[in-house]
Chain A
Amino acid sequence: MIKKIFKLAINYLKYNRLMSIILVVCITISIFIPMFTVRISNLANEILSRRAMETPLVIGRKGGSLQLVLNTLYFKADTPDIMQYSVYEDIAGKNAGRVIPLYNKYTARGYPVIGTTLEYFGLRSLAVRSGSSMQVLGDAVLGFNVSRKLGLGAGDSIITDTGSLYNISSMYPLQMSIVGVLEKSNSPDDNVIFTGIKTTWVIDGIGHGHKDLKKAEDIDILSRDRDNIVGSPSVYEYTRITPENIDSFHFHGDPGRFPLTGIIVIPETARKKTILQANINLSETLQAVTPEGIIGNLMKLVFNVQKILSSYFFLVFLSTVLFLALIITLSLQIRKSERHIMQMIGSSKYTIFFILFTQMFTIVLISFGMSVVAVNVLVAFVKYLQFI
Protein backbone atom coordinates (compact mmCIF):
# COMPACT_ATOMS: atom_id res chain seq x y z
CA MET A 1 0.00 0.00 0.00
CA ILE A 2 2.87 2.35 0.88
CA LYS A 3 4.38 1.74 -2.55
CA LYS A 4 1.10 2.68 -4.24
CA ILE A 5 0.65 5.78 -2.08
CA PHE A 6 4.25 6.77 -2.74
CA LYS A 7 3.62 6.42 -6.48
CA LEU A 8 0.63 8.78 -6.20
CA ALA A 9 2.74 11.22 -4.17
CA ILE A 10 5.61 11.20 -6.67
CA ASN A 11 3.18 11.64 -9.58
CA TYR A 12 1.62 14.63 -7.83
CA LEU A 13 5.01 16.23 -7.15
CA LYS A 14 6.24 15.60 -10.69
CA TYR A 15 3.08 17.00 -12.23
CA ASN A 16 3.16 20.10 -10.00
CA ARG A 17 6.87 20.55 -10.62
CA LEU A 18 7.17 24.29 -10.04
CA MET A 19 5.25 24.20 -6.77
CA SER A 20 7.33 21.23 -5.60
CA ILE A 21 10.61 22.95 -6.46
CA ILE A 22 9.59 26.16 -4.66
CA LEU A 23 8.57 24.17 -1.59
CA VAL A 24 11.77 22.12 -1.64
CA VAL A 25 13.90 25.28 -1.97
CA CYS A 26 12.06 27.03 0.89
CA ILE A 27 12.33 24.07 3.24
CA THR A 28 15.90 23.27 2.21
CA ILE A 29 17.00 26.82 3.04
CA SER A 30 15.25 26.79 6.39
CA ILE A 31 16.90 23.47 7.30
CA PHE A 32 20.26 24.22 5.69
CA ILE A 33 21.05 27.53 7.44
CA PRO A 34 20.80 26.36 11.07
CA MET A 35 22.33 22.97 10.21
CA PHE A 36 25.29 24.58 8.46
CA THR A 37 25.80 27.11 11.26
CA VAL A 38 25.87 24.40 13.90
CA ARG A 39 28.17 22.17 11.83
CA ILE A 40 30.59 24.96 11.00
CA SER A 41 30.78 26.25 14.58
CA ASN A 42 31.30 22.69 15.83
CA LEU A 43 33.99 22.20 13.20
CA ALA A 44 35.67 25.46 14.21
CA ASN A 45 35.48 24.40 17.83
CA GLU A 46 36.94 20.99 17.01
CA ILE A 47 39.81 22.35 14.90
CA LEU A 48 40.65 25.22 17.22
CA SER A 49 40.35 23.12 20.36
CA ARG A 50 42.40 20.23 19.00
CA ARG A 51 45.35 22.50 18.25
CA ALA A 52 44.93 24.36 21.51
CA MET A 53 44.99 21.10 23.45
CA GLU A 54 48.19 20.07 21.64
CA THR A 55 49.84 23.27 22.85
CA PRO A 56 49.95 23.31 26.64
CA LEU A 57 51.57 26.69 27.19
CA VAL A 58 52.35 29.78 25.14
CA ILE A 59 54.59 32.55 26.37
CA GLY A 60 54.74 36.05 24.97
CA ARG A 61 54.82 39.71 25.82
CA LYS A 62 52.11 40.91 28.17
CA GLY A 63 49.13 42.14 26.19
CA GLY A 64 46.29 40.54 24.33
CA SER A 65 46.37 36.86 25.21
CA LEU A 66 43.96 35.98 22.40
CA GLN A 67 46.18 37.78 19.89
CA LEU A 68 49.21 35.87 21.21
CA VAL A 69 47.44 32.51 20.94
CA LEU A 70 45.96 33.20 17.52
CA ASN A 71 49.32 34.37 16.19
CA THR A 72 51.37 31.56 17.73
CA LEU A 73 48.97 28.65 17.10
CA TYR A 74 47.00 29.64 14.03
CA PHE A 75 49.34 32.24 12.48
CA LYS A 76 46.38 34.64 12.39
CA ALA A 77 45.92 38.07 13.97
CA ASP A 78 48.44 40.91 14.05
CA THR A 79 51.98 40.35 15.24
CA PRO A 80 51.96 40.49 19.03
CA ASP A 81 54.43 42.64 20.93
CA ILE A 82 57.98 41.45 20.41
CA MET A 83 59.78 39.59 23.18
CA GLN A 84 63.49 38.89 23.51
CA TYR A 85 65.27 35.69 22.62
CA SER A 86 66.81 35.66 26.10
CA VAL A 87 63.41 34.62 27.50
CA TYR A 88 63.62 31.49 25.39
CA GLU A 89 67.15 30.84 26.60
CA ASP A 90 66.08 31.30 30.23
CA ILE A 91 63.14 28.91 29.96
CA ALA A 92 65.15 26.37 28.00
CA GLY A 93 67.77 26.52 30.74
CA LYS A 94 65.22 25.60 33.41
CA ASN A 95 64.65 22.13 31.94
CA ALA A 96 60.91 22.61 32.25
CA GLY A 97 60.23 20.66 29.07
CA ARG A 98 60.37 21.17 25.34
CA VAL A 99 60.69 24.85 24.43
CA ILE A 100 60.07 26.07 20.88
CA PRO A 101 60.65 29.67 19.79
CA LEU A 102 58.54 31.29 17.08
CA TYR A 103 58.95 34.44 15.11
CA ASN A 104 55.94 35.27 12.96
CA LYS A 105 56.25 38.73 11.50
CA TYR A 106 57.01 38.50 7.78
CA THR A 107 55.34 37.08 4.75
CA ALA A 108 56.42 35.71 1.39
CA ARG A 109 53.97 36.05 -1.47
CA GLY A 110 51.28 36.66 1.11
CA TYR A 111 51.96 33.59 3.24
CA PRO A 112 53.33 33.92 6.78
CA VAL A 113 56.99 33.05 7.18
CA ILE A 114 57.40 31.27 10.50
CA GLY A 115 60.84 31.24 12.00
CA THR A 116 61.23 28.31 14.39
CA THR A 117 63.31 25.23 15.14
CA LEU A 118 62.93 21.68 13.86
CA GLU A 119 61.38 20.77 17.21
CA TYR A 120 58.20 22.47 16.02
CA PHE A 121 57.80 19.80 13.32
CA GLY A 122 58.02 17.15 16.04
CA LEU A 123 55.39 18.91 18.15
CA ARG A 124 52.90 19.07 15.29
CA SER A 125 53.93 15.69 13.83
CA LEU A 126 54.70 17.36 10.52
CA ALA A 127 56.28 15.08 7.96
CA VAL A 128 58.24 16.18 4.92
CA ARG A 129 56.48 15.13 1.74
CA SER A 130 59.34 15.94 -0.63
CA GLY A 131 62.87 17.27 -0.17
CA SER A 132 64.14 17.80 3.34
CA SER A 133 63.56 20.05 6.35
CA MET A 134 65.52 23.29 6.65
CA GLN A 135 69.19 22.78 7.51
CA VAL A 136 71.11 25.97 6.87
CA LEU A 137 70.41 29.69 6.89
CA GLY A 138 68.08 30.68 4.08
CA ASP A 139 66.36 27.29 3.77
CA ALA A 140 62.56 27.26 3.68
CA VAL A 141 59.99 24.46 3.89
CA LEU A 142 56.57 25.09 2.41
CA GLY A 143 53.28 24.03 3.93
CA PHE A 144 51.24 21.71 1.68
CA ASN A 145 48.72 24.33 0.53
CA VAL A 146 51.38 26.99 -0.08
CA SER A 147 53.26 24.59 -2.31
CA ARG A 148 50.09 23.60 -4.19
CA LYS A 149 48.77 27.13 -4.61
CA LEU A 150 52.10 28.70 -5.63
CA GLY A 151 53.18 25.70 -7.69
CA LEU A 152 56.53 25.64 -5.92
CA GLY A 153 58.55 22.75 -4.56
CA ALA A 154 61.98 21.69 -3.43
CA GLY A 155 64.68 23.32 -5.58
CA ASP A 156 62.66 26.50 -6.19
CA SER A 157 63.03 29.73 -4.30
CA ILE A 158 60.68 32.26 -2.75
CA ILE A 159 61.19 35.95 -2.00
CA THR A 160 59.89 37.58 1.16
CA ASP A 161 57.50 40.51 0.83
CA THR A 162 58.79 44.02 1.43
CA GLY A 163 56.71 46.31 3.61
CA SER A 164 56.24 48.94 0.94
CA LEU A 165 57.80 49.66 -2.40
CA TYR A 166 58.31 53.32 -1.49
CA ASN A 167 59.58 52.76 2.06
CA ILE A 168 63.32 53.09 1.62
CA SER A 169 63.92 52.19 5.26
CA SER A 170 62.27 48.77 4.89
CA MET A 171 64.36 45.62 4.76
CA TYR A 172 65.69 44.05 1.61
CA PRO A 173 63.61 41.07 0.57
CA LEU A 174 65.36 37.75 1.07
CA GLN A 175 65.27 35.04 -1.53
CA MET A 176 64.91 31.80 0.40
CA SER A 177 65.75 28.39 -1.04
CA ILE A 178 62.88 25.94 -0.84
CA VAL A 179 64.34 22.68 0.37
CA GLY A 180 61.15 20.77 1.14
CA VAL A 181 57.38 20.57 1.19
CA LEU A 182 55.33 19.24 4.12
CA GLU A 183 52.65 16.57 3.99
CA LYS A 184 49.09 17.85 4.25
CA SER A 185 48.18 18.16 7.92
CA ASN A 186 44.74 19.81 7.66
CA SER A 187 45.95 22.46 10.04
CA PRO A 188 47.21 26.06 9.83
CA ASP A 189 50.67 24.57 9.18
CA ASP A 190 49.54 23.85 5.61
CA ASN A 191 49.25 27.57 4.92
CA VAL A 192 52.64 28.88 6.05
CA ILE A 193 56.31 28.82 5.13
CA PHE A 194 58.71 27.50 7.74
CA THR A 195 62.27 28.60 8.08
CA GLY A 196 64.95 28.72 10.76
CA ILE A 197 64.61 31.37 13.42
CA LYS A 198 67.93 32.88 12.31
CA THR A 199 66.68 33.24 8.75
CA THR A 200 63.78 35.37 10.02
CA TRP A 201 66.29 37.51 11.82
CA VAL A 202 68.09 37.97 8.50
CA ILE A 203 64.76 39.06 6.98
CA ASP A 204 64.45 41.42 9.96
CA GLY A 205 67.79 42.98 9.01
CA ILE A 206 69.53 41.91 12.21
CA GLY A 207 71.73 39.54 10.29
CA HIS A 208 73.14 40.10 6.85
CA GLY A 209 75.88 39.06 4.48
CA HIS A 210 78.07 41.23 2.29
CA LYS A 211 81.49 41.20 0.68
CA ASP A 212 84.46 41.01 3.05
CA LEU A 213 85.38 44.65 3.86
CA LYS A 214 88.95 43.62 4.64
CA LYS A 215 89.27 42.70 1.01
CA ALA A 216 87.04 45.51 -0.23
CA GLU A 217 88.22 48.23 -2.56
CA ASP A 218 88.62 51.76 -1.22
CA ILE A 219 85.47 52.95 -2.94
CA ASP A 220 83.42 50.72 -0.55
CA ILE A 221 85.19 51.97 2.59
CA LEU A 222 84.20 55.10 4.46
CA SER A 223 86.90 54.80 7.12
CA ARG A 224 89.43 52.26 8.21
CA ASP A 225 91.52 52.07 11.38
CA ARG A 226 93.21 49.32 13.37
CA ASP A 227 89.97 48.03 15.02
CA ASN A 228 87.15 49.15 12.76
CA ILE A 229 86.31 49.26 9.11
CA VAL A 230 83.24 51.33 8.20
CA GLY A 231 81.75 50.35 4.86
CA SER A 232 79.93 52.76 2.56
CA PRO A 233 76.26 52.24 1.59
CA SER A 234 77.48 51.08 -1.78
CA VAL A 235 78.66 47.79 -0.23
CA TYR A 236 76.53 45.09 -1.80
CA GLU A 237 74.33 43.15 0.64
CA TYR A 238 73.44 39.66 -0.44
CA THR A 239 69.72 39.08 -0.92
CA ARG A 240 70.13 35.33 -1.33
CA ILE A 241 72.03 33.01 0.91
CA THR A 242 74.16 30.63 -1.13
CA PRO A 243 76.89 28.12 -0.20
CA GLU A 244 79.38 30.68 -1.56
CA ASN A 245 78.24 33.61 0.60
CA ILE A 246 76.76 31.86 3.66
CA ASP A 247 79.95 32.36 5.65
CA SER A 248 79.68 36.12 5.18
CA PHE A 249 76.35 36.21 7.06
CA HIS A 250 76.61 37.50 10.58
CA PHE A 251 74.45 39.10 13.24
CA HIS A 252 74.99 42.40 14.96
CA GLY A 253 74.23 42.92 18.64
CA ASP A 254 73.42 40.75 21.60
CA PRO A 255 71.59 37.56 20.52
CA GLY A 256 69.64 37.66 23.77
CA ARG A 257 67.93 40.81 22.52
CA PHE A 258 66.88 39.32 19.20
CA PRO A 259 63.13 39.22 18.60
CA LEU A 260 60.56 36.47 19.04
CA THR A 261 56.77 36.70 18.87
CA GLY A 262 56.00 33.65 20.99
CA ILE A 263 57.37 30.61 22.72
CA ILE A 264 55.62 27.26 22.91
CA VAL A 265 56.40 25.20 25.98
CA ILE A 266 55.51 21.55 26.46
CA PRO A 267 56.22 21.04 30.14
CA GLU A 268 57.27 17.61 31.31
CA THR A 269 54.76 17.57 34.14
CA ALA A 270 51.67 19.48 35.20
CA ARG A 271 53.59 20.69 38.23
CA LYS A 272 56.36 22.16 36.08
CA LYS A 273 53.76 23.80 33.92
CA THR A 274 52.06 25.42 36.91
CA ILE A 275 55.33 26.66 38.37
CA LEU A 276 56.55 28.02 35.03
CA GLN A 277 53.23 29.70 34.28
CA ALA A 278 53.13 31.28 37.73
CA ASN A 279 56.72 32.53 37.47
CA ILE A 280 56.22 33.97 34.03
CA ASN A 281 52.98 35.67 35.01
CA LEU A 282 54.75 37.33 37.94
CA SER A 283 56.87 39.16 35.39
CA GLU A 284 55.80 42.65 34.44
CA THR A 285 56.51 42.17 30.75
CA LEU A 286 55.64 38.53 30.04
CA GLN A 287 52.58 36.34 30.08
CA ALA A 288 52.15 32.56 29.99
CA VAL A 289 48.75 31.45 28.74
CA THR A 290 47.02 28.10 28.33
CA PRO A 291 45.63 28.12 24.75
CA GLU A 292 42.91 25.62 25.68
CA GLY A 293 41.46 28.10 28.17
CA ILE A 294 41.75 31.06 25.78
CA ILE A 295 40.15 29.15 22.90
CA GLY A 296 37.55 27.69 25.27
CA ASN A 297 36.49 31.22 26.22
CA LEU A 298 36.43 32.23 22.57
CA MET A 299 34.24 29.24 21.71
CA LYS A 300 31.91 30.03 24.64
CA LEU A 301 31.40 33.40 23.00
CA VAL A 302 30.79 31.71 19.65
CA PHE A 303 28.30 29.31 21.22
CA ASN A 304 26.54 32.17 22.99
CA VAL A 305 26.14 33.86 19.62
CA GLN A 306 24.95 30.51 18.29
CA LYS A 307 22.32 30.36 21.05
CA ILE A 308 21.01 33.75 19.96
CA LEU A 309 21.05 32.55 16.37
CA SER A 310 19.20 29.40 17.41
CA SER A 311 16.21 31.43 18.59
CA TYR A 312 16.32 33.28 15.28
CA PHE A 313 16.49 29.98 13.42
CA PHE A 314 13.58 28.71 15.47
CA LEU A 315 11.51 31.67 14.29
CA VAL A 316 12.55 31.01 10.69
CA PHE A 317 11.66 27.34 11.15
CA LEU A 318 8.33 28.28 12.74
CA SER A 319 7.49 30.59 9.86
CA THR A 320 8.38 27.78 7.44
CA VAL A 321 6.11 25.38 9.33
CA LEU A 322 3.29 27.98 9.20
CA PHE A 323 4.01 28.50 5.52
CA LEU A 324 3.77 24.75 5.00
CA ALA A 325 0.53 24.66 6.99
CA LEU A 326 -0.85 27.37 4.72
CA ILE A 327 0.21 25.42 1.63
CA ILE A 328 -1.39 22.25 3.00
CA THR A 329 -4.62 24.08 3.86
CA LEU A 330 -4.79 25.67 0.42
CA SER A 331 -3.92 22.36 -1.18
CA LEU A 332 -6.71 20.63 0.75
CA GLN A 333 -9.15 23.29 -0.43
CA ILE A 334 -8.05 23.03 -4.05
CA ARG A 335 -8.11 19.24 -3.94
CA LYS A 336 -11.47 18.92 -2.25
CA SER A 337 -13.04 17.32 -5.32
CA GLU A 338 -10.14 14.86 -5.58
CA ARG A 339 -10.70 13.77 -1.99
CA HIS A 340 -14.44 13.51 -2.68
CA ILE A 341 -13.84 11.30 -5.73
CA MET A 342 -11.52 9.00 -3.80
CA GLN A 343 -14.04 8.69 -0.99
CA MET A 344 -16.86 7.96 -3.44
CA ILE A 345 -14.79 5.26 -5.12
CA GLY A 346 -14.16 3.62 -1.77
CA SER A 347 -11.06 5.12 -0.18
CA SER A 348 -10.94 5.67 3.57
CA LYS A 349 -10.28 9.10 5.04
CA TYR A 350 -7.07 7.70 6.53
CA THR A 351 -5.81 6.58 3.13
CA ILE A 352 -6.54 10.02 1.67
CA PHE A 353 -4.82 11.67 4.62
CA PHE A 354 -1.89 9.29 4.18
CA ILE A 355 -1.65 10.19 0.46
CA LEU A 356 -1.56 13.93 1.24
CA PHE A 357 0.83 13.37 4.15
CA THR A 358 3.16 11.30 1.96
CA GLN A 359 3.28 14.11 -0.60
CA MET A 360 4.34 16.65 2.04
CA PHE A 361 6.62 14.12 3.73
CA THR A 362 8.35 13.44 0.40
CA ILE A 363 8.92 17.18 -0.05
CA VAL A 364 10.34 17.47 3.48
CA LEU A 365 12.45 14.33 2.99
CA ILE A 366 13.92 15.62 -0.30
CA SER A 367 14.58 19.00 1.34
CA PHE A 368 16.23 17.36 4.31
CA GLY A 369 18.36 15.19 2.03
CA MET A 370 19.39 18.18 -0.04
CA SER A 371 20.21 20.16 3.12
CA VAL A 372 22.39 17.34 4.46
CA VAL A 373 24.19 16.99 1.12
CA ALA A 374 24.62 20.77 0.77
CA VAL A 375 25.92 21.10 4.34
CA ASN A 376 28.38 18.25 3.87
CA VAL A 377 29.60 19.59 0.53
CA LEU A 378 30.03 23.08 1.93
CA VAL A 379 31.73 21.87 5.11
CA ALA A 380 34.10 19.77 2.97
CA PHE A 381 34.70 22.86 0.81
CA VAL A 382 35.42 24.96 3.90
CA LYS A 383 37.82 22.28 5.13
CA TYR A 384 39.44 22.11 1.69
CA LEU A 385 39.94 25.86 1.49
CA GLN A 386 40.87 25.95 5.17
CA PHE A 387 38.70 28.95 5.96
CA ILE A 388 38.89 27.84 9.56
Chain B
Amino acid sequence: MILIKNLLFRYPGESDFKLEIEELRIEDRQKCCIIGPSGSGKTTLLNIITGIYKPISGTVRINEMEINRKNDREIRNFRIRNIGYIFQDFGLIDYLNVEDNVLLPFYISPGLNVDGKVRKKVDFILRRLDIGNKSRSYIARLSQGEKQRVAIARALVTGPDIVIGDEATGNLDVKTAEVIMNLLMDVVEENKATLLFVTHNVSLMKHFGKVIDINKVNKDRE
Protein backbone atom coordinates (compact mmCIF):
# COMPACT_ATOMS: atom_id res chain seq x y z
CA MET B 1 0.00 0.00 0.00
CA ILE B 2 1.12 3.53 -0.78
CA LEU B 3 0.17 6.06 1.87
CA ILE B 4 0.93 9.76 1.64
CA LYS B 5 0.10 11.96 4.65
CA ASN B 6 0.41 15.71 5.23
CA LEU B 7 2.81 16.05 2.32
CA LEU B 8 4.33 19.39 1.42
CA PHE B 9 6.69 19.71 -1.52
CA ARG B 10 8.12 22.73 -3.21
CA TYR B 11 10.95 22.97 -5.74
CA PRO B 12 13.90 24.83 -4.24
CA GLY B 13 13.87 28.51 -5.25
CA GLU B 14 10.45 28.23 -6.90
CA SER B 15 7.46 29.84 -5.21
CA ASP B 16 4.80 29.40 -7.94
CA PHE B 17 4.32 25.68 -7.48
CA LYS B 18 3.47 23.78 -4.32
CA LEU B 19 2.22 20.22 -3.84
CA GLU B 20 0.26 19.81 -0.66
CA ILE B 21 -1.55 16.54 -0.03
CA GLU B 22 -3.38 15.81 3.19
CA GLU B 23 -3.85 12.11 2.57
CA LEU B 24 -3.58 9.85 -0.43
CA ARG B 25 -3.96 6.09 -0.16
CA ILE B 26 -3.37 3.60 -2.97
CA GLU B 27 -4.07 -0.01 -2.15
CA ASP B 28 -1.94 -2.98 -3.22
CA ARG B 29 -2.58 -4.22 -6.77
CA GLN B 30 -4.77 -1.22 -7.44
CA LYS B 31 -4.62 0.25 -10.94
CA CYS B 32 -4.54 3.93 -10.47
CA CYS B 33 -4.60 6.72 -13.02
CA ILE B 34 -3.31 10.17 -12.18
CA ILE B 35 -4.74 12.95 -14.28
CA GLY B 36 -4.35 16.68 -14.41
CA PRO B 37 -3.21 19.47 -16.68
CA SER B 38 0.44 19.97 -17.60
CA GLY B 39 2.43 21.45 -14.74
CA SER B 40 -0.09 20.39 -12.13
CA GLY B 41 2.41 18.07 -10.37
CA LYS B 42 1.58 14.58 -11.67
CA THR B 43 5.20 13.67 -12.43
CA THR B 44 6.31 15.44 -9.24
CA LEU B 45 3.99 13.17 -7.25
CA LEU B 46 5.46 10.08 -8.96
CA ASN B 47 8.97 11.30 -8.20
CA ILE B 48 8.07 11.83 -4.56
CA ILE B 49 6.58 8.33 -4.34
CA THR B 50 9.71 6.83 -5.88
CA GLY B 51 11.98 8.78 -3.54
CA ILE B 52 13.64 10.84 -6.25
CA TYR B 53 12.31 14.05 -4.68
CA LYS B 54 12.24 14.52 -0.92
CA PRO B 55 9.25 16.40 0.50
CA ILE B 56 9.66 19.33 2.87
CA SER B 57 7.34 17.65 5.33
CA GLY B 58 4.93 14.77 5.63
CA THR B 59 5.34 11.05 5.16
CA VAL B 60 5.41 8.78 2.13
CA ARG B 61 4.97 5.17 3.14
CA ILE B 62 5.24 2.24 0.74
CA ASN B 63 4.16 -0.96 2.43
CA GLU B 64 5.95 -0.72 5.76
CA MET B 65 8.74 1.52 4.57
CA GLU B 66 8.73 5.25 5.13
CA ILE B 67 10.62 6.17 2.01
CA ASN B 68 11.29 9.83 2.80
CA ARG B 69 13.14 8.85 5.98
CA LYS B 70 15.66 6.67 4.13
CA ASN B 71 19.04 7.69 2.77
CA ASP B 72 19.81 7.87 -0.96
CA ARG B 73 21.40 4.45 -1.11
CA GLU B 74 18.48 2.74 0.59
CA ILE B 75 16.02 4.57 -1.66
CA ARG B 76 17.96 3.50 -4.79
CA ASN B 77 18.08 -0.11 -3.65
CA PHE B 78 14.38 0.03 -2.88
CA ARG B 79 13.54 1.65 -6.20
CA ILE B 80 15.51 -0.74 -8.36
CA ARG B 81 13.90 -3.81 -6.75
CA ASN B 82 10.38 -2.58 -6.03
CA ILE B 83 9.50 0.00 -8.65
CA GLY B 84 9.31 -0.48 -12.41
CA TYR B 85 9.39 2.71 -14.45
CA ILE B 86 7.89 3.13 -17.93
CA PHE B 87 8.84 6.39 -19.60
CA GLN B 88 6.90 8.38 -22.20
CA ASP B 89 9.92 8.38 -24.55
CA PHE B 90 10.53 4.70 -23.67
CA GLY B 91 13.90 5.47 -22.04
CA LEU B 92 15.68 2.71 -23.92
CA ILE B 93 19.42 2.60 -24.50
CA ASP B 94 20.20 2.61 -28.20
CA TYR B 95 23.51 0.73 -27.93
CA LEU B 96 21.97 -2.23 -26.15
CA ASN B 97 19.82 -4.87 -27.78
CA VAL B 98 16.33 -5.65 -26.53
CA GLU B 99 17.45 -8.30 -24.05
CA ASP B 100 20.19 -6.11 -22.60
CA ASN B 101 17.79 -3.16 -22.35
CA VAL B 102 15.44 -5.31 -20.32
CA LEU B 103 18.37 -6.42 -18.16
CA LEU B 104 19.53 -2.81 -17.60
CA PRO B 105 18.40 -2.70 -13.93
CA PHE B 106 20.62 -5.73 -13.32
CA TYR B 107 23.58 -4.13 -15.10
CA ILE B 108 23.47 -0.92 -13.09
CA SER B 109 22.81 -2.41 -9.69
CA PRO B 110 25.58 -4.13 -7.69
CA GLY B 111 22.98 -6.18 -5.82
CA LEU B 112 21.29 -7.75 -8.85
CA ASN B 113 23.03 -10.46 -10.82
CA VAL B 114 22.17 -11.89 -14.19
CA ASP B 115 21.90 -15.66 -14.07
CA GLY B 116 20.10 -18.34 -16.05
CA LYS B 117 16.91 -17.83 -14.06
CA VAL B 118 16.87 -14.13 -14.85
CA ARG B 119 17.50 -14.77 -18.53
CA LYS B 120 14.65 -17.27 -18.61
CA LYS B 121 12.42 -14.66 -17.00
CA VAL B 122 13.45 -12.07 -19.60
CA ASP B 123 12.70 -14.55 -22.34
CA PHE B 124 9.31 -15.31 -20.80
CA ILE B 125 8.37 -11.62 -20.44
CA LEU B 126 9.47 -10.79 -23.99
CA ARG B 127 7.41 -13.68 -25.38
CA ARG B 128 4.48 -12.63 -23.21
CA LEU B 129 4.73 -9.17 -24.74
CA ASP B 130 4.95 -10.65 -28.26
CA ILE B 131 8.50 -9.49 -28.89
CA GLY B 132 10.25 -12.77 -28.13
CA ASN B 133 11.75 -12.82 -31.61
CA LYS B 134 13.25 -9.36 -31.17
CA SER B 135 15.51 -10.08 -28.21
CA ARG B 136 18.70 -9.56 -30.26
CA SER B 137 17.42 -6.51 -32.16
CA TYR B 138 18.69 -3.03 -31.50
CA ILE B 139 16.23 -0.33 -30.49
CA ALA B 140 16.57 1.63 -33.72
CA ARG B 141 15.06 -1.33 -35.59
CA LEU B 142 11.88 -1.50 -33.50
CA SER B 143 8.50 0.14 -34.08
CA GLN B 144 7.11 2.56 -31.48
CA GLY B 145 4.79 -0.14 -30.12
CA GLU B 146 7.65 -2.62 -29.85
CA LYS B 147 9.79 -0.06 -28.04
CA GLN B 148 7.05 0.47 -25.49
CA ARG B 149 6.75 -3.29 -25.00
CA VAL B 150 10.51 -3.41 -24.30
CA ALA B 151 10.05 -0.59 -21.78
CA ILE B 152 7.25 -2.55 -20.09
CA ALA B 153 9.41 -5.68 -20.03
CA ARG B 154 12.20 -3.73 -18.35
CA ALA B 155 9.78 -2.32 -15.79
CA LEU B 156 8.64 -5.83 -14.89
CA VAL B 157 11.93 -7.73 -14.94
CA THR B 158 12.85 -7.18 -11.28
CA GLY B 159 9.35 -8.28 -10.17
CA PRO B 160 8.40 -4.89 -8.71
CA ASP B 161 5.49 -4.20 -6.35
CA ILE B 162 4.74 -0.93 -8.11
CA VAL B 163 4.80 -0.13 -11.81
CA ILE B 164 4.84 3.52 -12.76
CA GLY B 165 3.92 4.76 -16.21
CA ASP B 166 4.59 8.44 -16.85
CA GLU B 167 2.61 9.34 -20.00
CA ALA B 168 3.68 5.88 -21.13
CA THR B 169 1.39 5.82 -24.15
CA GLY B 170 1.88 9.47 -25.05
CA ASN B 171 4.12 8.67 -28.00
CA LEU B 172 1.85 6.01 -29.48
CA ASP B 173 -1.04 6.30 -31.88
CA VAL B 174 -4.49 5.65 -30.48
CA LYS B 175 -4.76 2.08 -31.72
CA THR B 176 -1.30 1.05 -30.52
CA ALA B 177 -1.87 2.87 -27.23
CA GLU B 178 -5.00 0.79 -26.66
CA VAL B 179 -3.20 -2.46 -27.47
CA ILE B 180 -0.27 -1.57 -25.21
CA MET B 181 -2.64 -0.48 -22.44
CA ASN B 182 -4.49 -3.80 -22.52
CA LEU B 183 -1.22 -5.67 -22.48
CA LEU B 184 0.11 -3.55 -19.61
CA MET B 185 -3.00 -4.18 -17.56
CA ASP B 186 -2.70 -7.93 -18.13
CA VAL B 187 0.97 -8.22 -17.25
CA VAL B 188 0.64 -5.94 -14.21
CA GLU B 189 -2.23 -8.14 -13.05
CA GLU B 190 -0.20 -11.29 -13.68
CA ASN B 191 2.72 -9.81 -11.74
CA LYS B 192 0.42 -8.79 -8.87
CA ALA B 193 1.77 -5.23 -8.99
CA THR B 194 0.24 -1.85 -8.23
CA LEU B 195 0.01 0.44 -11.27
CA LEU B 196 0.36 4.20 -11.12
CA PHE B 197 -0.24 5.70 -14.51
CA VAL B 198 -0.10 9.33 -15.56
CA THR B 199 -2.02 10.16 -18.73
CA HIS B 200 -3.80 12.93 -20.57
CA ASN B 201 -5.72 10.45 -22.66
CA VAL B 202 -9.24 10.26 -21.21
CA SER B 203 -10.08 7.25 -23.34
CA LEU B 204 -7.60 5.18 -21.33
CA MET B 205 -9.22 5.93 -17.99
CA LYS B 206 -11.63 3.07 -18.37
CA HIS B 207 -8.79 0.67 -17.67
CA PHE B 208 -8.21 1.98 -14.15
CA GLY B 209 -9.93 1.18 -10.88
CA LYS B 210 -9.01 4.50 -9.37
CA VAL B 211 -8.54 7.94 -10.92
CA ILE B 212 -6.68 10.61 -8.98
CA ASP B 213 -7.20 14.16 -10.17
CA ILE B 214 -4.08 15.91 -8.99
CA ASN B 215 -5.93 19.20 -8.77
CA LYS B 216 -8.34 17.67 -6.32
CA VAL B 217 -5.75 16.08 -4.05
CA ASN B 218 -3.39 19.07 -4.14
CA LYS B 219 -4.74 21.45 -1.52
CA ASP B 220 -2.81 24.27 -3.15
CA ARG B 221 -4.98 23.95 -6.31
CA GLU B 222 -8.31 23.32 -4.70
Contacts and interface: CB of A to CB of B under 8 A. Distances in A.
Interface of A: 1, 4-5, 7-8, 11-12, 14-16, 337-338, 341-348, 351-352, 355
A16 B95 contact: yes
By secondary structure, the A interface counts as helix
Nearest to B114: A4
A353 B50 CA distance: 22
12 contacts: A4-B107, A7-B100, A12-B95, A15-B95, A341-B93, A344-B91, A345-B85, A346-B77, A346-B81, A347-B80, A348-B76, A351-B110
- Give me the 5 closest cross-chain CB pairs, A-B, nearest first: A346-B80, A15-B95, A347-B108, A341-B91, A346-B79
Given A337-B91, A341-B87, A341-B91, A347 B96 contact: no
A355 B52 CA distance: 21
Interface of B: 50, 52, 72-73, 76-77, 79-81, 83, 85, 87, 89, 91, 93-96, 100, 104-110, 114, 138
Contacts of B108: 4, 342, 345-347, 351-352, 355
Contacts of A348: 72-73, 76
Given A15-B95, A337-B91, A338-B93, A344 B52 contact: yes
B106 A346 contact: no
A347 B93 contact: no
A352 B76 CA distance: 13
Given A11-B100, A337-B89, A347 B94 contact: no
Contacts of B87: 341, 344
A136 B73 CA distance: 90
B91 A347 contact: no
A139 B100 CA distance: 75
A342 B93 CA distance: 10
Nearest to A4: B107
A23 to B, nearest CB: 15
A206 B106 CA distance: 89
B110 A1 contact: yes
Contacts of B107: 4-5, 7-8
A347 B85 CA distance: 13
B80 A345 contact: yes
Given A12-B95, A337-B91, A351-B108, A344 B85 contact: yes
B116 to A, nearest CB: 16
Given A11-B100, A15-B138, A346 B91 contact: no
Given A8-B96, A15-B138, A345 B79 contact: yes
A355 B95 CA distance: 13
B105 A346 contact: yes
A352 B104 CA distance: 12
A61 B64 CA distance: 100
